[in-house]
Amino acid sequence: MDGFVGFMQSAAGRLLRMIVGIALIGVGIAWVGGVWGAVVVALGAVFFLVGALGICLLAPFFGYTLTGKHIPTA
């Protein structure tokens, strides 16, 4: 598995995405506020959910599925 995708699918990568998501949600609520705060909270929710569900949104760019499985070439 490619280094980046391998890390993102590891427990550490998933935990890192979840922590970043929680931090973005907190920043969006506590400091930003308004419309931009809602955008930051939504971005944080996406980070948290993809970490919790084990999805890597950038994996298809490296030839893997969203869950990190290698896509065989034809």
**Residue 33 within a domain:** yes
Domain that holds residue 42: 18-56
Rounded-to-integer distance, Cα 71 and Cα 11, Å: 22
Length of the chain: 74
- How many CA atoms lie less than 13 Å away from 52 in the CB half-sphere? 10
**Residue 43 within a domain:** yes
User: Can you give the pLDDT at residue 72?
Assistant: 67
CB under 8 Å to 46, separation ≥6 — which residues?
21
- Domains in the chain, number: 1
**Residue 74 within a domain:** no
The pLDDT tens digits for 15-61 are: 999 999 999 999 999 998 889 999 999 999 999 999 999 888 888 88
- Model's pTM, two decimal places? 0.81
**Residue 70 within a domain:** no
Whether 21 contacts 48, CB under 8 Å: yes
**Residue 4 within a domain:** no
